[in-house]
Amino acid sequence: MFQSLRTHSLSLQILLPILAFLPYLVFLFIDEIPRPVIHNAQGWIYHGWQEGIDHRPWLFLILGWLLNLVMAYSLYWLNIRFELIGKRTVYISYLFSLLVLLPLGFHSFHPGMLGGVFLLISLIFLFLIYHHSQTQAYLFNAGFFWGLSVIVYPPFLAVFPLYILGARFVKYTNWKDFFLLLAGLLTPVWIWAAFAYLNGSLRFQWLNLVQWTELRSTWPPEMPGNKLLWYIYLGLLPIVLIFYINLYRVKKDVGRRVLTLISQLIWMCPLILLIFERVSIEILWVALVPVSFLLSVAAFNSKSPWISDLLFVILFGFMIVFQLNILL
C-alpha cells in the first residue's frame, strides 16, 4: 500500500515535511500552546530559550519542526550509508516523524533536541571509523561534536560509556586513540570557557553546569499533557528492546555493529532521566532514534510484508488520538 511512498525520494522531499507538520495544526485551535517542561536551568542558552518560549511560542514551534525534520532526514542518510535496515527506504524517516510527535514535549524547540542533533553527528563520525584505516581524524571529530552536544545540553556527558564501547566495538582502536576523542571533547569546551572568561561569566556558567549533576529528589519526572498517555508511551520503550533480536537479520556487519551500539541509547536516556533532577523527557527524543531503527528492521524483515504498513497505520492512529486529547 505504501510501497511507492517508502521507496521514492520525492516522498522524502515533499510528503515528509507535510506529515511532520500535521500534528502542529492542532495548535491553531487552542488558546494556549502547551509548553515543554522547563526546569530552573540557567546558563548561556537556557535564559534566552525560556524567554522565547514565553514570548514567541510559534517561533519555537517552527524551530522544533525543523529539528524534527533534520533528524528524520539524517536517519534516512544513516540507513543508506551504513545499510542498517537492508533496504533503500524512507520508511525510517516517516516512522521517526510519527513517534516523535505522538506525545507533547517534542513539538517545540528544546536545547536538548539541538544537543541530540550534535550527538548524532558525533556518533556518525564514530561509525565512520569502520570504513577507514586512519581513524584519528574521525575520533577527534566525534569528540568535537560530542563536546558541542554537552555545551548545549550537559546531561549528554553521561553517555560516555557509549563512546568507550563504540571506539572498541565498531572497529578495534588503540587505547591511545581515546586521547584524540578526549581532545575533541575538550576543544569546544575550552573555547566556550574562554568566551565565558572574557565576558566575566565563567564562574556563573560553571555553577550552572554543576547544577545539572543534582540527583533526582522528585518523582515522577514532570511530563507535559496527559500523564496516562505518557506512561503508556514510556511503557512501550522497553518493549521495543524485544526487537533487538532482529539485529542478526541485518546482512552487513557494519550495520549490525552500528545498530547494536546506537540501541544502547534506549536504556541510557531513560536512566539519565531517572538519575538527574534537571533532566526531563526531552532526552527521550534521542532514544527514539534507535527505537525507529529497531521497529523498521523488525517490520521489513518479517515474513509478512504488510507488517510495516500496519505499524505505520497504528502509529498514525495513535497520533490522531494524542492530538484529539490536546483539543479535549
Cell readout for 324 is: 484529539
Confidence check: pLDDT of 186 > 90: yes
Q: What is the pLDDT of residues 239-288, one digit of tens each?
A: 766 666 655 555 666 777 788 888 888 888 888 988 988 888 888 889 88
Asked which of 44-58, 77-91, 128-142, 270-284 is least confident by mean pLDDT, the reply is 44-58
Distance CA 278, CA 264 (A): 22
- Burial group, residue 69, by CB count within 10 angstroms (0-12, 13-18, 19+): middle
DSSP 258-274: HHHHHTTHHHHHHHHHH
Q: Report the pLDDT averaged over residues 201-224.
A: 81
Least confident range from 103-117, 137-151, 296-310: namely 296-310
Sequence-separated (6 or more) residues with CB below 8 Å from residue 268 = 158, 159, 161, 162, 287
Residues ≥6 apart with Cβ < 8 Å to 233: 102, 103
Q: What is the mean pLDDT of the chain?
A: 78
pLDDT at 303: 66
Length of the chain in terms of residues written: 328
pLDDT level of residue 12 (50, 70, 90 thresholds)? low
Angle subtended by helix axes 160-169 and 178-198, to nearest 10: 150
- The reported pLDDT for the residue numbered 4 is 46
Check: CB of residue 270 under 8 Å from CB of residue 287. yes
Omega cis (within 30) before 220 = yes
In this structure, of 82-86, 220-224, 321-325, the range with the lowest mean pLDDT score is 321-325
Residues 6+ apart with CB under 8 A from 34: 104, 107, 224, 225, 326
Predicted local confidence at residue 284, as pLDDT: 86
Q: Which residue has the higher pLDDT, 37 or 80?
A: 80
Q: Is the pLDDT confidence value at 193 over 70?
A: yes
Contacts 24+ apart (CB under 8 A), 125-130: 126/163, 126/166, 126/167, 126/170, 127/82, 127/166, 127/170, 127/254, 127/258, 127/261, 129/167, 129/170, 129/171, 129/173, 130/170, 130/171, 130/254, 130/257, 130/258
Given a cut of 70, whether residue 55 has pLDDT beyond it is yes
Name residue 57's amino acid: P
Which of these ranges, 15-24, 179-188, 189-198, 211-220, has the smallest mean pLDDT?
Answer: 15-24
Give me the pLDDT at residue 44, please: 60
Sign, CA torsion 207/213/215/218: positive
- Which set of grid coordinates corresponds to residue 27? 495548535
Percent of the chain with pLDDT over 70: 70
Higher pLDDT, 104 or 113: 113
Does 300 have pLDDT greater than 50? yes
Query: Tell me, what's the pLDDT at 184?
Result: 92
pLDDT at 1: 44
The DSSP result for 274-320, as a single string, is: HHBTT--GGGHHHHHHHHHHHHHHHHHTSS-THHHHHHHHHHHHHHH
Does 217 have pLDDT greater than 60?
yes
CA nearest neighbour of 89 among 1, 18, 10, 8? 8
